[in-house]
A and B are shown apart, each in its own frame.
Chain A
Amino acid sequence: MSGRKRTLEAISFELVMTVIAVIALVIIIAPSLVVLIVSFTSGFSLRFPPPGYSLRWYAELWNAWQLHFAAKNSLIVALWATSLSVVLGVAAALAISRSRTLSARLLDSLFMSPLVLPALAFGLAALMLFSLVGLPVSPLTLVIGHTVVCVPYVVRNTVAALAQLEPTLLESSAVLGASRLYTFRRIVLPLIRPGIIAGAFIAFMSSFDNVPVSLFLRDAATDMLPIRMWQDLEGKLDVTIAALSGVLIIATVALVAVMERITGLSRRLTN
């Protein structure tokens, strides 16, 4: 800032913007804090502030086998969907990232389209197709459906990482006699790895949390955690769910902190 005089007008502008920004940040963070605090209540209801604090609902959670079962299913499906998304998505990102041809741009919009199209409509469509070809709902159909909606995150983050890769590095490597595969393994992969990991992380989180696709592609044998929670909440406000929410919030914050260390997640998502 040059040494311009801070007029009343400038101060009013900065005050208004800062106040709104702080209010917005509070609105963003408040719900997570509220649930976290309520989950430690010693009472039976979701009152805020709680009448007293205890770990009883976390202990209750320990015995909630239905939730454990759903969580295990969600975890397995998310791991498979993420792995499949990384394999297919990174290969596709390599192909389309430096190409300016029409087919590359068309493929790019195709691979991104699950981000804007209603996932619920896709879930219904996938169920119809699977039942037409006689493939019953199973963990397999869930993995396929989740992969479609998770792949965009991997493709987008890998393309972004590749865009920051200096082409001269690849040229020098080739000039020095390295094969394409060797260059890929020793130069490209290490440099774009943080981008791939960030993409895989977001893909994993969105699969683990997916409702619209799971809703149509699961049955009782493949109960999924977010759906189990949603159905529990429609019936009653359960403090066990608050404890489960507490676990999920703490796990998320911990994972984000780890990812920030490994991949610089915050820079990656703003560039």
Chain B
Amino acid sequence: MGAAPASRDVTSYGMGLAAPLALFFLLFFVAPLLQLLWLSLHNDTAALHWGLGQYLHFLADPFSLGVLGSTLLLGAEVTAVCLVLGFPIAWLYQRVGPKLQTIIILIVLLPLLTSVVVRTFAWIVILGRQGIINATLQSLGIIDTPLKLLYTQFGVVIALAQVQMPLMTLPLITALGRIDPNLDDASCSLGAGSWRTFFRIVLPLSLPGVIAGCTLTYAAAITAFITQSLIGGGQMLFMPMYLYQQASTLQNWPFAAAISIIFLLAVLAVVSVFTTLGRMSRGYGGA
């Protein structure tokens, strides 16, 4: 029999087991992205001439920059709404019994697992000219003519916030569960009120969860193609649709590739800002 060293660790497995997935990712994830980068560095559709033309075209074009700006702003708005609505859910979760906890989690999970087209379709029914909100307000005599809710920034933000809420709430629930409940009591017995305790103790200690939630929500919100296109309608253009139009309708692959790379870099920049903040907050939480 083989002379296996006695000290061989039986609790871990060899890295070789990761090789198939690593190879799969190399072939079908890394290689396509490199090919995308390569194509974006060409000035013509036939990919014969190297150059930064596509990037210069994007960066010198107020329209393109406007699309990028409104996409990044949209992400910030959705993240803010998710945080303001999601934090109290996580807080409530820690306050109730196990039965209610399971119900809260399943409610929060529901949008994550329901088809994105279905969720978005529901918002069209709610926000439309004859939708529930307009019908209710009109029947109460508060408004005469229907409000324009669909195809507005407000509509896109609220629909996206509902869709992305689990991505914010789940990390928050985990983070709040890790806070020692004695700290809450200690703060109160030392004379701090509930609001003060919340903002000085609970919120800072839950920062890793807040940051994890913000990262996921932000990334998901700015890449949410279906919700953006159906609720935003033709008037509002965000990066994913811009990318799709250039690639699919106009067949301008090098420019679409450049848009993709700029979009990827923007997402990566936001994620790394959040990650840096997360590292700082963990240091703070551990202090």
Contact = CB atoms under 8 A, between A and B. Distances in A.
Contact of B124 (A47, A211, A233): A233
Given A35-B125, A118-B263, A241-B121, A4 B165 contact: no
A220 interface: no
20 contacts: A2-B185, A2-B188, A10-B194, A22-B92, A31-B119, A34-B122, A48-B126, A48-B131, A99-B12, A104-B18, A110-B30, A116-B267, A128-B36, A171-B11, A209-B116, A211-B117, A229-B115, A233-B230, A266-B105, A266-B109
Interface of B is mostly: helix
Nearest to A104: B15
Interface in A56-74: none
B92 A124 contact: no
Contacts of A255: 113
Interface in A1-55: 1-2, 4, 7, 9-10, 12-14, 16-18, 20-25, 27-32, 34-35, 38, 45-48
Interface of B: 10-18, 20-22, 24-25, 28-33, 35-36, 39, 84-86, 88-89, 91-92, 101-102, 104-111, 113-126, 128, 130-132, 135, 158, 161-162, 165, 170, 173-174, 177, 185, 188-189, 193-195, 198, 215-216, 219, 222-223, 225-226, 229-230, 239-240, 243-244, 247-248, 253, 256-257, 260-261, 263-264, 267-268, 271
B105 A144 contact: no
Interface of A: 1-2, 4, 7, 9-10, 12-14, 16-18, 20-25, 27-32, 34-35, 38, 45-48, 87-89, 91-92, 94-96, 98-99, 101, 103-104, 107, 110-111, 113-122, 124-126, 128-129, 132, 144-145, 147-148, 151, 155, 167, 170-171, 173-174, 180, 183, 202, 205, 208-209, 211-212, 215-216, 225-226, 229-230, 233-234, 237, 241-242, 245, 248-249, 252-253, 255-256, 260, 265-266, 269-271
A24 B88 CA distance: 8
A126 B36 CA distance: 9
B18 A118 contact: no
Contacts of B267: 116-118
Contacts of A215: 225, 244, 248
B91 A17 contact: yes
Given A18-B92, A34-B126, A209-B115, A126 B109 contact: no
Contacts, number: 299
Given A4-B188, A32-B119, A226 B264 contact: no
Contacts of B195: 9, 12-13
Given A32-B114, A116-B219, A129-B35, 17 more contacts: A17-B91, A30-B122, A32-B118, A35-B122, A48-B135, A114-B29, A121-B260, A124-B260, A125-B32, A170-B10, A212-B225, A226-B226, A229-B121, A233-B230, A237-B128, A255-B113, A266-B109
Contact of B110 (A32, A46, A234): A32
Contacts of A183: 10
